[in-house]
Structure 1
Amino acid sequence: MNLVQPIKDKEQLQEIKQWLKERNERNYILFLLGIHTGFRVSDILRLRVKDVQGWNIFIKEKKTKKPKDVKMSNELKKAIRNYIKDKPKNEFLIKSRNGKNKPLSRGMAYIIMQQIADEFGLERLGTHSLRKTYGYNHYIKFKDVASLQEMLNHSHPKETLRYIGINQDNLNKQQSKIDW
C-alpha cells in the first residue's frame, strides 16, 4: 500500500497556495478547504455554496456518518467569500467543468494533487495529503493530540500520531543517530 504524506514544510505550503491561486481559483479553494478543515476530499466535493456562507461549515461525514462542525480560518473565509460571490446557493463549490452542476470527481482531485506533486517535486502526495497536512500542522502548532484525535475522528491518540507521520519522524530521527 502506497501511503500519502502531509506537506510538512510551511514555506512550501505557502508556495503551493500562491501557485494555485495564480492558476486556478477552484483548485486553490479545494486545497485551502483540505488544509484548513481536515475534511476528507469526499466531503469537500459534496459542499455547495450554501454550506460555506457563514463562519462554520457543518457536514455529516460520508465515511463515519458523524456530524462535523468546523469554524473557518480567516484565510479560508476570505478566499471563499471572493470565490462564491454571485454563485447560486445550490451550486457545488468545487464544480466540475463537465455537466451543468456536478461536483469535481475524486479522480480529478487526485490529478490536481499530482500536478502539485510534479510542480513542487513532492512524492507520495494524494488527495488525503490535504487532511494529513491539516493534522500535521495542527499538532505542530498546538501539541494537543486529544483535540486533533477528535477532529479527525480517530479512536486512539497513537492512531492520530501515526496518521500524521509524527511516529515515523521520530523513528527516522532515531535511525539517523545509529552509529555502531
Structure 2
Amino acid sequence: MKRVMPIRDKEKLRQMKKVLKDQSERNYIMFMIGINAGLRISDILPLRVRDVKGEDMNVLEQKTGNEREIPINDSLKRALQKYIRGKKDNEVLIKSREGMNQPISRDMAYKIIREAGEQVGLVRLGTHTMRKTFGYNYYQNTKNIEALRTMLGHSDVRYTRIYIGIEEDFIREQYMKHTNL
C-alpha cells in the first residue's frame, strides 16, 4: 500500500477547497482545520464549537493524551466564524447526519477526502493528507524543519522530512537532474 501524500500544488489545493465547500460546509471546515492546524483526523473529529471559539483551538490529542492550544490563523478563523454562527457550544463541528451530536466516522472522513481528490485529479490521498499538507506548506514557507518537528510531535527531523515528502522530492529531483543518459 502506498503512503498518502501532501497536496503540493497550490492550484490543486484551491480546487480541493472548492470541491469540498460545494459538497458541504462541514466537509470544507474539516479540510480547513486539517490543512491549517496540522491535526490528525482523530483530533479533528471530536472538536466542538466551544473548542474553536477563541484565538486558540483547544485540542485533546487522542494519540498522546496531551492537551494543546493551537493558534487559529486568519484563514481558518474566518471560515470557522461563519460556520459556527448560531451553533451551540457543545455541538460537534464535523457532525454526522446519523445519531445525535456525533461526529462523522474516520472512514467517512477518508471517503470525503479521497472522492474530492479524485474530482481534482489527485491520487494517494487520505485523511493524513491534510496534516501532511500543513507540514509540507509550512516547511516550504519557512524551511524550519525543527519547528515543524515540534509542531507535529515527531521525535526526529528525519521522520519529519520523510513524513511531508521532502525527502522523496529531493531524490526525485536528483534522478531527473543527474541521470539523463
Same fold (TM over 0.5): yes
The AA in structure 1 aligned to 2:34 is G
Residues 33-58 of structure 1, C-alpha deviation per residue, up to 9 Å, x if partnerless?
00000000010001001100011012
58-67 vs 167-176, which deviates more?
A: 58-67
Partner of 2:126: 126
Structure 2 runs not aligned, ≥5 long:
none
Q: Post-superposition shift, 1:2?
A: 2.3
User: For residues 5 and 168 of structure 2, what CA distance do their matches in structure 1 show?
Assistant: 11
* Structure 1 equivalent of residue 90 of structure 2: 90
Partner of 1:44: 44
Per the alignment, residue 108 of structure 2 pairs with 108
Q: After the TM superposition, which of the residue ranges 65-74 and 99-108 deviates more from structure 2?
A: 65-74
What is the CA RMSD across the aligned residues, in angstroms? 1.0
**2:21 and 2:55 mapped to 1: Cα distance?**
21
Deviations 1:35-84 (A, max 9, x none): 00000001000100110001101212110222322111111111111111
CA distance in 1, matches of 2:180, 2:100: 61
Q: Deviations over 1:119-140 (max 9, x none)?
A: 0111110000000000000000
C-alpha separation in 1, matches of 2:58 and 2:89: 15
Cross-structure match for 1:27: 27
Letter in 2 for 1:157: V
How far apart in 2 are the matches of 1:105 and 1:129?
17
Q: How many residue pairs align between the two structures? A: 180
Alignment partner of 2:68: what SS?
A: strand
Q: Give the aligned residue type for 2:79.
A: A
Q: Calculate percent identity across the aligned residue pairs.
A: 46
Measured in 2, the distance between the counterparts of 1:3 and 1:143 equals 23
Once residues 158 and 58 of structure 1 are traced to their aligned partners in structure 2, the CA distance between those partners, rounded to angstroms, is 28
**Mean Cα deviation higher: 26-35 or 50-59:** 50-59
User: Where does 1:60-71 land on structure 2 (aligned, <5 Å)?
Assistant: 60-71=60-71
1:58 paired residue number:
58
Structure 1 unaligned spans of 5+: none
The code of the aligned residue for 1:166 comes to I
AA at the equivalent of 2:41: V
TM score, norm. by length of structure 1: 0.96
Q: Which amino acid aligns with 1:44?
A: I
State how far apart, in whole Å, the 2-side matches of 1:56 and 1:154 are. 21
Query: 2:16–2:117: 8 Å Cα contact kept in structure 1?
Result: no
Structure 2-normalised TM-score?
0.96
